[in-house]
Chain A
Amino acid sequence: MDIIVCLKQIYDLGQIMVDTATKYPITEGVARKISDFDKNALEEALRIKEKHGGTVLALIGGTKEAAKEALAMGADEAVIYSADSDSLGTATILAEIIHKTKYDLILCGEASIDEFSFQTGPRLAQALGIPVLTYARKMELKDNEVVVERNLENRYEIAKARLPALVTVTKEINEPRIPTLLQILGASKKKTTELSPAKPEAGIETLRVTAIEMKRKEVILKDIEELAMVITSESR
C-alpha cells in the first residue's frame, strides 16, 4: 500500500500579530508547523502502513523543518516544494508531482486551518481523475477498495471507491502521535527531496489581508442578578 500524504506548513496562528498602522498580519519571525488536520491525515497513513505494510510519502508545501516533522512521525520519505499560489495553482503543482509517482491512496486534511478552503483534496482528485471521499472520520481498506464513514451535516454516510483514490480526513479520525526523541533523531537519516516547480497559473489573486476589529461591548458586571437579566433577554 503506497500512500502519499499532502501536507501544508502554516504559521502558528496564535502568534500572528497585527501591524497597527496597516492592519496587515505580521508573519515575520512567527513559528511554523504542519496544519492540524494534515497531521491527522499523516497519522492515518502511518496506521494503514502499520496494518497493511507499504510506504508513506509526505508531500509538503513547506520547508525542511516541516519535512523533519513528518519524517519524525514516521513517513518514509519527504518531498518539499515552495508553495505560494492559490488553490488552483497548488492542486496543479501537486498533480504534476504525483503523476510521476506510483501510489494507491492519497490522504489530505479536510482543509488547512489558515485558509479553510476545503479545496486541495477535491481539486487534486479531479486533476488526477481519481475518486474522492471527503470528510472521512473513519476509514478502512479492503480488497483494493477504500471504505470511509463521512461526517456530513445531518448524517453519516458510508461510502466506498476502488483504489487509487483520494480521501480527505477530519480531526475525529485519530489522534496524531507525538514522535519520540529517537524518532526525531532518526528523521535526519531519511530522504528529503526539494523541488522547485514553475509558478503555476492562479485563478484568484489576493488583493489584501486586513485585521478585523472585534467590536465587543466589554461590559464587566458585578451583580449576578444583572447578568441573569442580560442572559434572559439575549436568549429570547
Chain B
Amino acid sequence: MIFTFSEDYETAIEILAKGREVADSLRLELAAVSIIKHNDVEGTYIFCGADKVYSIDSELHADIVVDCLFSLINQYKPEILLIGGTRLGKEVAPRIAQKFGAGCATDCVDFSLEHEKLIVKRFVLGGRFIATQRFLRNPQIVTVPPRRFGKKLDTARTGEIIKTTPKLAEPKVRVLEIKDKTPKELRIEEADIIVSVGRGLRKKEDLVLVESLAKMLGGVVGCSRSVAADLKWLPEEHWVGLSGHKVKPKLYIAIGISGQVQHIAGIRDAKTIIAINNDPNAPIFKACDYGIVGDLYDIVPALTNAIKK
C-alpha cells in the first residue's frame, strides 16, 4: 500500500497524482490520509487518485499527525509514504521515519522504480548537483515539494472513505498563539515576479529605483546576501540565496548582482532570469537568459519607462 498525506489541500492532490503512477506500476493500493476538522475534501481525494481515504477528525498538530501516521502504518504496513513537503510535512516525515528505523528523502523532484524500490532524485550541494538515492528498506518515506507535480482529476473514479479513530496522546508541544503574516511578509518563495538588487546599489535610498520597477511589474523586491545580511538595507524576508530564500518565479531580474554561486543556488528554478550589471565578466551573465551590460542607474529608470509604455 502507498500512503499519501498533506495538511495542505493543493499539495495533497498533487501527491495523489504522482502516487497513482507509482501505485499503478507496483500494483499497490493508494490511500490518502486525511487529518482534518472538516472533511468535505475527501471525495476529491478519490477523484484525484486515491483508492481509499483514511479520515481522522482531529486538530492539526505535528505531534498528532505523527501519532495518526504511526497508528495507520502499524496497522496497514504501507511500503511507501508520500508526504507533502510543507514545513509541517518536513517535520513529520523524518519523525515517522525514525520511529520505524526507516530512510526518508526530503524534497524529491523525481521518482522512478528499480526492482520495486523507489529511486529518488534531490538537489544537493547548493542546488548545483542532483543526488540519486535508493531506499534500503520499507517503509520508504519521501517528502514531495508543493507545486512540483500536476494534479489529475477523474470524477468517474470510485473509492472508500474510512473513518478512523486512532488513539492519540496529548501533544508535547502547546500552541499558544497564531499570528497571520501580512501580505508583505508572505514568503518570497511564492512570488511570481521578483526584481532583485545587490551590491551594485550605492545607497539605501536608491532602493526606490528597484521598488518602482517591481511595482510596475506587479512583483516583489528581492536582494542578495550583501544587501540583507551585511548592509541590512532590506530585512531577511527579501534575501534570495542558498542561506536565504530559494525562489521559483516566472521572472527574476537581477540588478547589480554579481552572481555568486550562493545566489545562483537560490534562483535555479526561476523560469526566466534577466541580468543587469556593469561588469561584462560578472558570473550572472553565464546564469541568465537575457542580460544587458551597463550602469543600473541609467538602465533601470529607462527600463521602467519603456515598460510603462
Q: A207-B132, A209-B124 are in contact. Are A232 and B307 (CB under 8 A)?
A: yes
Closest to B246 in A: A116
B152 at the interface (CB under 8 A from A): no
Chain B residues with CB under 8 A of A123: 94-95, 97-98
Q: A88-B102, A207-B119, A209-B131 are in contact. Are A224 and B306 (CB under 8 A)?
A: yes
Interface centre among A201, A202, A209 (most CB of B within 10 A): A209
Closest to A89 in B: B103
The answer to whether B176 and A155 have CB atoms under 8 Å apart is no
The answer to whether A155 and B180 have CB atoms under 8 Å apart is yes
* Complex CA–CA separation, A118 to B62 (angstroms): 15
Binds A, one of B18-26, B48-56, B284-292: B284-292
Chain A residues with CB under 8 A of B187: 153-154
* Complex CA–CA separation, A231 to B217 (angstroms): 9
User: Scoring B residues 65 to 106 as 1 if CB is less than 8 Å from chain A, else 0, what string do you get?
Assistant: 010000000000000000000111011111101110111111
The answer to whether B217 and A235 have CB atoms under 8 Å apart is yes
Chain B residues with CB under 8 A of A171: 236, 243
B126 at the interface (CB under 8 A from A): yes
B113 at the interface (CB under 8 A from A): no
The answer to whether B106 and A118 have CB atoms under 8 Å apart is yes
Chain A residues with CB under 8 A of B268: 212, 214
Chain A residues with CB under 8 A of B173: 131-133, 159-161
A134 at the interface (CB under 8 A from B): yes
* Complex CA–CA separation, A133 to B207 (angstroms): 36
Chain A residues with CB under 8 A of B107: 116
The answer to whether B125 and A13 have CB atoms under 8 Å apart is yes
User: Scoring A residues 124 to 156 as 1 if CB is less than 8 Å from chain B, else 0, what string do you get?
Assistant: 111100111111000000000001000011111
Chain A residues with CB under 8 A of B86: 153
Return B4 CB to nearest CB of chain A, in Å.
19
Chain B residues with CB under 8 A of A91: 94, 98
Chain B residues with CB under 8 A of A65: none
* Complex CA–CA separation, A206 to B105 (angstroms): 11
Q: A14-B261, A221-B292 are in contact. Are A115 and B124 (CB under 8 A)?
A: yes
Taking residues whose C-beta sits less than 8 angstroms from the other chain, chain A's interface range is 35 or more
User: Scoring A residues 105 to 126 as 1 if CB is less than 8 Å from chain B, else 0, what string do you get?
Assistant: 0000000011111111011111
Return A146 CB to nearest CB of chain B, in Å.
10
Return A85 CB to nearest CB of chain B, in Å.
11
Chain B interface residue count, Cβ-Cβ cutoff 8 angstroms: 84
* Complex CA–CA separation, A206 to B86 (angstroms): 24
The answer to whether B124 and A154 have CB atoms under 8 Å apart is no
User: Scoring B residues 289 to 306 as 1 if CB is less than 8 Å from chain A, else 0, what string do you get?
Assistant: 111110000010011001
A216 at the interface (CB under 8 A from B): yes
B38 at the interface (CB under 8 A from A): no
Q: How many A-B residue pairs have CB under 8 A?
A: 240
The answer to whether B291 and A219 have CB atoms under 8 Å apart is yes
* Complex CA–CA separation, A85 to B79 (angstroms): 22
Interface of B is mostly: mixed
Interface centre among B106, B173, B286, B299 (most CB of A within 10 A): B173
B167 at the interface (CB under 8 A from A): no
Binds A, one of B27-35, B133-141, B154-162, B197-205: B133-141
The answer to whether A231 and B130 have CB atoms under 8 Å apart is no
Which of the residues A13, A152, A159 comes within 8 Å of B126, measured between beta carbons?
A13
B177 at the interface (CB under 8 A from A): yes
* Complex CA–CA separation, A188 to B175 (angstroms): 43
* Complex CA–CA separation, A211 to B97 (angstroms): 28
Interface centre among B98, B135, B288, B307 (most CB of A within 10 A): B98
The answer to whether B303 and A134 have CB atoms under 8 Å apart is no
Which of the residues B104, B126, B218 comes within 8 Å of A87, measured between beta carbons?
B104
A194 at the interface (CB under 8 A from B): no
Which of the residues B134, B181, B265 comes within 8 Å of A204, measured between beta carbons?
B134
Which of the residues A154, A210, A218 comes within 8 Å of B291, measured between beta carbons?
A218
User: Scoring A residues 1 to 43 as 1 if CB is less than 8 Å from chain B, else 0, what string do you get?
Assistant: 0000000000101101010000001000000000011000000
The answer to whether A216 and B287 have CB atoms under 8 Å apart is yes
Interface centre among A130, A155, A162 (most CB of B within 10 A): A155
Interface residues of B in 218-274 (CB under 8 A from A): 218-219, 236, 242-243, 250-251, 253, 260-262, 264-265, 268, 271-274
The answer to whether B130 and A204 have CB atoms under 8 Å apart is no
Interface centre among A119, A127, A134, A210 (most CB of B within 10 A): A119
Q: Known pairs A206-B132, A234-B251, A234-B272; list 9 more (Cβ under 8 Å).
A: A18-B128, A116-B106, A118-B90, A156-B178, A161-B172, A203-B101, A212-B129, A214-B268, A218-B286
Chain A interface residues (CB < 8 Å from chain B): 11, 13-14, 16, 18, 25, 36-37, 86-88, 91, 113-120, 122-127, 130-135, 147, 152-162, 165, 171-172, 201-212, 214, 216-222, 224-225, 227-228, 230-232, 234-235
Query: Can you list 9 A-B contacts (CB < 8 A)?
Result: A13-B261, A114-B124, A122-B98, A123-B97, A153-B87, A158-B176, A207-B132, A230-B290, A235-B193
